[in-house]
A and B are shown apart, each in its own frame.
Chain A
Amino acid sequence: MTAEQHNQSEMPSTGTPVFQVTHLSKAFGELQVLKDISLSVNHGQVVSIIGPSGSGKSTFLRCATLLETMEHGSMSFMGKTVCEEGPQGAVYAPVSELRKLRALFGLVFQNFNLFPHYNVLKNITDAPICVQKRDPAEVLEKARELLKTMGLSAKENAYPCELSGGQQQRVSIARALISNPQILFFDEPTSALDPELTGEILKTIRALAARKMTMVIVTHEIEFARLVSDHVVFMADGVIVEQGPPEEVISHPKNPRTQAFLMKLSHKA
């Protein structure tokens, strides 16, 4: 797959992390949502973020994908600076620079956010053609290839409203993949789906992991997190409470809060 070739060709020789954030803090008014979060993601790594509702997981992804600005901290993609901590807090790179950096990452939303007035093909191809000014023929070919791997070849002319939730989510993953991102962020990609449809999305993500796509996934699917990730982060009240390999954090949690959270989840199931 081309995304992978692309990844490899730009793979940093010195082991620069694909994504790195240090001492991130973020508040909404009085409410301190994220406190001193640091995370580094290497090429090919799959990081899962778990934690109770309201712990700041989405806000973290939104800071990482430039939908929110952080007050303090530094962040970089492929060693290229997004923002750096200065005397008065985080200082962001100029807008023109940030625009270029956007091509390095993709975000998959909980509720897909496909453009309802565009058909499947246009949803996927519009940004690369109109924003990145890539060759339309090449983009179209790539889009069809992606749709094929997603099992959606027959749906390229359908509109989002004509698709099931699982199909819509696969289209939105294809839309995120077409710009050859170095890293993909997922915010609860299966939470808006009927239980019988979550499987197909999890399968798609696992296929990406097998192709060494670098990913950060916020999820409540603990079993899935255990299987797919190299690194698990447990977040609560805006701090990283515990992190490590899944066999530690999920199977043998040390922190009482992690234990309580996992306990509650397993009881619900």
Chain B
Amino acid sequence: MPLGFCICGLRMSKIKFISRVTSIYISIMRGTPLMLQLLMVFFGPYFLFGMSLGDSYRFPAVIIAFSLNYAAYFAEIYRGGIQSIPVGQYEAANVLGYSRAQTFFKIILPQVIKRTLPPVTNEVITLTKDTSLAFAIACAEMFTQAKHMASAQRSMMPYVAAGIFYYVFNFVVAFVMERLEKRLSYYR
């Protein structure tokens, strides 16, 4: 999420080149399957530089790939949020003498957070479910574990258990976000 914030900043940069490059990045991240990106991040160093990073690299690779991918989505959500704030807010702040940084952090950002909370919740939930993709590089996330157990036990139960776990986790995410939304609903 913080990375998405930085990328959003770059995307909205006044320098054409930077915003252009960032928008290509976002387009690639959103336009190719996460699974592919995961494989690229994991096997990329080996094929490009002949580096063998071994088993200990599995988990960092998953984190890197997910961060790079989801940052692109979060960046676009933030950008939409920032652009939905009426220019009048900037103008009022400007006339009152707020500096650019003060305007952003005191006036704009709180409103952006409120407006982007529902789509951010969506993304977090999707992200949780996407972790099951990590099995592609055999990182031992929950889904993979469940698969092993299922074949060993010849039963559906581990899948059901995994499903319940995903659901409970996302339920908690949704619950927390909803509480947050309620807390911010004191205005408008």
Interface residues of A (CB under 8 A from B): 65-67, 99, 102-103, 106-107, 109, 111, 113-117, 126-127, 130-132, 159-161, 175, 179
Report if A130-B106 is in contact (Cβ < 8 Å); known contacts: A107-B95, A117-B111, A175-B96. yes
Q: How many A-B residue pairs have CB under 8 A?
A: 57
Alpha-carbon separation in the docked complex, A161 to B95 (Å) = 22
A116 contacts B95, CB within 8 Å?
Answer: no
Q: Contacts of B99 on A, CB cut-off 8 Å?
A: 131
B166-188: CB near A (< 8 Å → 1, else 0) gives 00000000000000000000111
B63-89: CB near A (< 8 Å → 1, else 0) gives 000000000000000000000001011
Q: Contacts of A160 on B, CB cut-off 8 Å?
A: 187-188
A161 contacts B187, CB within 8 Å?
Answer: yes
Q: How many Å from the CB of B187 to the closest CB on chain A?
A: 4
Q: Contacts of A132 on B, CB cut-off 8 Å?
A: 97
Q: How many residues of B contact A (CB 8 A)?
A: 21
Report if A113-B187 is in contact (Cβ < 8 Å); known contacts: A127-B97, A131-B96, A175-B96. no
Q: Contacts of B92 on A, CB cut-off 8 Å?
A: 109, 113-115
Q: Contacts of A159 on B, CB cut-off 8 Å?
A: 186-188
Q: Contacts of A116 on B, CB cut-off 8 Å?
A: 111, 187-188
Q: How many Å from the CB of A107 to the closest CB on chain B?
A: 5
By Cβ-Cβ distance, the 9 closest A-B pairs, closest first, are A113-B92, A113-B88, A127-B96, A131-B97, A159-B187, A102-B97, A161-B188, A107-B95, A117-B110
Alpha-carbon separation in the docked complex, A115 to B88 (Å) = 10
Alpha-carbon separation in the docked complex, A159 to B89 (Å) = 15
Closest to B111 in A: A117
Q: Is the interface of A mostly helix, strand, loop or mixed?
A: loop
Q: How many Å from the CB of A111 to the closest CB on chain B?
A: 6
Q: Contacts of B27 on A, CB cut-off 8 Å?
A: none
B97 contacts A67, CB within 8 Å?
Answer: no
Closest to A114 in B: B92
Q: How many Å from the CB of B112 to the closest CB on chain A?
A: 10
A113 contacts B111, CB within 8 Å?
Answer: no
Q: How many Å from the CB of B89 to the closest CB on chain A?
A: 6
Q: Contacts of B187 on A, CB cut-off 8 Å?
A: 116-117, 159-161
Q: How many Å from the CB of B9 to the closest CB on chain A?
A: 21
B88 contacts A111, CB within 8 Å?
Answer: yes
Q: How many Å from the CB of A226 to the closest CB on chain B?
A: 28
Alpha-carbon separation in the docked complex, A159 to B185 (Å) = 11
Q: How many Å from the CB of B131 to the closest CB on chain A?
A: 34
A102 contacts B110, CB within 8 Å?
Answer: no
Closest to A110 in B: B88
Q: Contacts of B110 on A, CB cut-off 8 Å?
A: 117
B104 contacts the other chain (CB 8 A): no
B107 contacts the other chain (CB 8 A): yes
B135 contacts the other chain (CB 8 A): no
Q: How many Å from the CB of B182 to the closest CB on chain A?
A: 15
Q: How many Å from the CB of B181 to the closest CB on chain A?
A: 14
Q: How many Å from the CB of A159 to the closest CB on chain B?
A: 4
Q: Contacts of B91 on A, CB cut-off 8 Å?
A: 67, 109, 113
Alpha-carbon separation in the docked complex, A125 to B123 (Å) = 37
Alpha-carbon separation in the docked complex, A109 to B95 (Å) = 11
B98 contacts the other chain (CB 8 A): yes
B114 contacts the other chain (CB 8 A): yes
Q: How many Å from the CB of B109 to the closest CB on chain A?
A: 10
Alpha-carbon separation in the docked complex, A175 to B188 (Å) = 20
Q: How many Å from the CB of A182 to the closest CB on chain B?
A: 14
B13 contacts the other chain (CB 8 A): no
Alpha-carbon separation in the docked complex, A133 to B157 (Å) = 64
In the complex, besides A107-B95, A109-B92, A115-B92, 18 extra interface pairs with C-beta distance below 8 angstroms are: A65-B95, A67-B94, A67-B95, A99-B97, A102-B95, A113-B86, A113-B89, A113-B91, A113-B92, A115-B89, A115-B93, A116-B187, A126-B106, A127-B96, A131-B99, A132-B97, A160-B188, A161-B187
Q: How many Å from the CB of A167 to the closest CB on chain B?
A: 15
Alpha-carbon separation in the docked complex, A161 to B88 (Å) = 16
B126 contacts the other chain (CB 8 A): no
Q: Contacts of A99 on B, CB cut-off 8 Å?
A: 97
